[in-house]
Structure 1
Amino acid sequence: MLISQQHLDYSNAALLTFGLCFIASIVVSYPLAEHFTLTTQIASHISNIVLAGLFKISYVLRCVCQYQLGMEVR
Protein backbone atom coordinates (compact mmCIF):
# COMPACT_ATOMS: atom_id res chain seq x y z
CA MET A 1 0.00 0.00 0.00
CA LEU A 2 1.38 3.37 -0.96
CA ILE A 3 1.28 6.08 1.64
CA SER A 4 0.57 9.51 0.22
CA GLN A 5 0.47 13.06 1.51
CA GLN A 6 -3.32 12.71 1.63
CA HIS A 7 -2.99 9.92 4.22
CA LEU A 8 -0.78 12.18 6.31
CA ASP A 9 -3.36 14.96 6.06
CA TYR A 10 -6.12 12.57 7.18
CA SER A 11 -4.09 11.35 10.14
CA ASN A 12 -3.27 14.94 11.14
CA ALA A 13 -6.97 15.83 10.97
CA ALA A 14 -7.86 12.76 13.03
CA LEU A 15 -5.20 13.68 15.59
CA LEU A 16 -6.62 17.18 15.94
CA THR A 17 -10.24 16.00 16.05
CA PHE A 18 -9.69 13.27 18.64
CA GLY A 19 -7.49 15.58 20.72
CA LEU A 20 -10.15 18.28 20.87
CA CYS A 21 -12.89 15.75 21.61
CA PHE A 22 -10.77 14.25 24.37
CA ILE A 23 -10.23 17.67 25.95
CA ALA A 24 -13.98 18.34 25.77
CA SER A 25 -14.77 15.01 27.44
CA ILE A 26 -12.25 15.75 30.22
CA VAL A 27 -13.92 19.13 30.82
CA VAL A 28 -17.34 17.49 31.01
CA SER A 29 -16.03 14.69 33.24
CA TYR A 30 -14.31 16.76 35.90
CA PRO A 31 -14.55 20.57 36.16
CA LEU A 32 -18.13 20.87 34.88
CA ALA A 33 -19.48 17.57 36.16
CA GLU A 34 -22.06 19.15 38.46
CA HIS A 35 -23.79 20.73 35.45
CA PHE A 36 -24.47 17.41 33.71
CA THR A 37 -26.66 14.42 34.44
CA LEU A 38 -25.23 11.18 35.77
CA THR A 39 -25.79 9.51 32.40
CA THR A 40 -23.82 12.22 30.63
CA GLN A 41 -21.01 11.95 33.17
CA ILE A 42 -20.82 8.18 32.70
CA ALA A 43 -20.75 8.60 28.92
CA SER A 44 -18.00 11.21 29.17
CA HIS A 45 -15.88 8.99 31.42
CA ILE A 46 -16.25 6.11 28.97
CA SER A 47 -15.47 8.40 26.05
CA ASN A 48 -12.27 9.50 27.83
CA ILE A 49 -10.93 5.98 27.45
CA VAL A 50 -12.15 5.51 23.88
CA LEU A 51 -10.95 8.91 22.66
CA ALA A 52 -7.53 8.48 24.28
CA GLY A 53 -7.16 5.20 22.36
CA LEU A 54 -8.26 6.77 19.09
CA PHE A 55 -5.86 9.67 19.66
CA LYS A 56 -2.97 7.23 20.13
CA ILE A 57 -3.91 5.26 17.02
CA SER A 58 -4.05 8.43 14.92
CA TYR A 59 -0.62 9.45 16.25
CA VAL A 60 0.84 6.07 15.27
CA LEU A 61 -0.72 6.40 11.80
CA ARG A 62 0.81 9.86 11.50
CA CYS A 63 4.24 8.48 12.43
CA VAL A 64 3.89 5.66 9.88
CA CYS A 65 2.92 8.14 7.16
CA GLN A 66 5.86 10.39 7.97
CA TYR A 67 8.25 7.44 7.94
CA GLN A 68 6.92 6.15 4.61
CA LEU A 69 7.18 9.62 3.06
CA GLY A 70 10.78 9.99 4.22
CA MET A 71 9.97 12.77 6.65
CA GLU A 72 11.36 13.24 10.14
CA VAL A 73 9.23 11.25 12.60
CA ARG A 74 8.50 13.17 15.78
Structure 2
Amino acid sequence: MEYLERWLAISNAAIWVSVLGLLLTVLLAYPLASALALPVQIAAHMGTLLFAVGVKIAYVARLAFLSKLGRPVH
Protein backbone atom coordinates (compact mmCIF):
# COMPACT_ATOMS: atom_id res chain seq x y z
CA MET A 1 0.00 0.00 0.00
CA GLU A 2 2.90 2.35 0.61
CA TYR A 3 3.85 2.29 -3.06
CA LEU A 4 0.27 3.28 -3.97
CA GLU A 5 0.55 6.27 -1.64
CA ARG A 6 3.78 7.25 -3.36
CA TRP A 7 2.19 6.97 -6.81
CA LEU A 8 -0.80 8.97 -5.60
CA ALA A 9 1.56 11.75 -4.49
CA ILE A 10 3.36 11.59 -7.84
CA SER A 11 0.09 11.84 -9.76
CA ASN A 12 -1.02 14.79 -7.60
CA ALA A 13 2.26 16.54 -8.30
CA ALA A 14 1.94 15.75 -12.01
CA ILE A 15 -1.47 17.42 -12.08
CA TRP A 16 -0.03 20.60 -10.56
CA VAL A 17 2.99 20.64 -12.88
CA SER A 18 0.74 20.07 -15.90
CA VAL A 19 -1.71 22.81 -14.87
CA LEU A 20 1.12 25.30 -14.32
CA GLY A 21 2.71 24.32 -17.63
CA LEU A 22 -0.64 24.67 -19.35
CA LEU A 23 -1.16 28.16 -17.93
CA LEU A 24 2.34 29.21 -18.95
CA THR A 25 2.01 27.92 -22.50
CA VAL A 26 -1.43 29.51 -22.93
CA LEU A 27 0.03 32.84 -21.82
CA LEU A 28 2.92 32.46 -24.24
CA ALA A 29 0.74 31.26 -27.12
CA TYR A 30 -1.94 33.94 -26.94
CA PRO A 31 -1.49 37.23 -25.03
CA LEU A 32 2.31 37.32 -25.33
CA ALA A 33 2.54 35.90 -28.86
CA SER A 34 3.32 39.22 -30.53
CA ALA A 35 6.50 39.55 -28.47
CA LEU A 36 7.80 36.08 -29.34
CA ALA A 37 9.52 34.58 -32.36
CA LEU A 38 7.53 32.19 -34.51
CA PRO A 39 9.37 29.02 -33.35
CA VAL A 40 8.61 29.94 -29.73
CA GLN A 41 4.96 30.49 -30.59
CA ILE A 42 4.82 27.10 -32.29
CA ALA A 43 6.42 25.46 -29.25
CA ALA A 44 3.94 27.21 -26.97
CA HIS A 45 0.99 25.93 -29.00
CA MET A 46 2.41 22.40 -28.98
CA GLY A 47 3.07 22.70 -25.25
CA THR A 48 -0.54 23.70 -24.67
CA LEU A 49 -1.68 20.44 -26.24
CA LEU A 50 0.89 18.33 -24.40
CA PHE A 51 0.22 19.84 -20.98
CA ALA A 52 -3.54 19.45 -21.46
CA VAL A 53 -2.98 15.74 -22.13
CA GLY A 54 -0.72 15.62 -19.06
CA VAL A 55 -3.50 16.99 -16.86
CA LYS A 56 -5.92 14.36 -18.14
CA ILE A 57 -3.54 11.43 -17.76
CA ALA A 58 -2.42 12.50 -14.28
CA TYR A 59 -6.04 12.92 -13.18
CA VAL A 60 -7.00 9.45 -14.42
CA ALA A 61 -3.95 8.02 -12.62
CA ARG A 62 -5.00 9.85 -9.45
CA LEU A 63 -8.48 8.36 -9.67
CA ALA A 64 -7.05 4.89 -10.22
CA PHE A 65 -4.75 5.11 -7.19
CA LEU A 66 -7.51 6.50 -4.99
CA SER A 67 -9.72 3.60 -6.03
CA LYS A 68 -6.98 1.04 -5.33
CA LEU A 69 -6.48 2.57 -1.87
CA GLY A 70 -10.21 2.29 -1.15
CA ARG A 71 -10.68 6.03 -0.83
CA PRO A 72 -13.62 8.00 -2.25
CA VAL A 73 -13.12 8.86 -5.89
CA HIS A 74 -14.38 12.32 -6.79
Does TM-score exceed 0.5, indicating one fold?
Answer: yes
The alpha carbon displacement at 1:36 in A equals: 0.8
Return the TM-score normalized by structure 1: 0.92
Structure 1 unaligned blocks of 5 or more: none
1:11–1:62 Cα contact (<8 Å) kept: yes
Which letter does structure 2 place at the counterpart of 1:25?
Answer: T
Return the TM-score normalized by structure 2: 0.92
Identity of aligned residues (%): 33
* Richer in helix (by share): 2
How many residues are aligned here? 73
Specify the SS of the correspondent of 1:4.
helix
The yes-or-no answer on 1:65 pairing with 2:65 is yes
Specify the SS of the correspondent of 1:22.
helix
TM-align CA RMSD: 1.3
The yes-or-no answer on 1:47 pairing with 2:17 is no
**Whole-angstrom distance in 2 between the partners of 1:28 and 1:61:** 28
Provide the residue aligned with 1:35 in structure 2. 35
The alpha carbon displacement at 1:16 in A equals: 0.4
**Whole-angstrom distance in 1 between the partners of 2:3 and 2:60:** 14
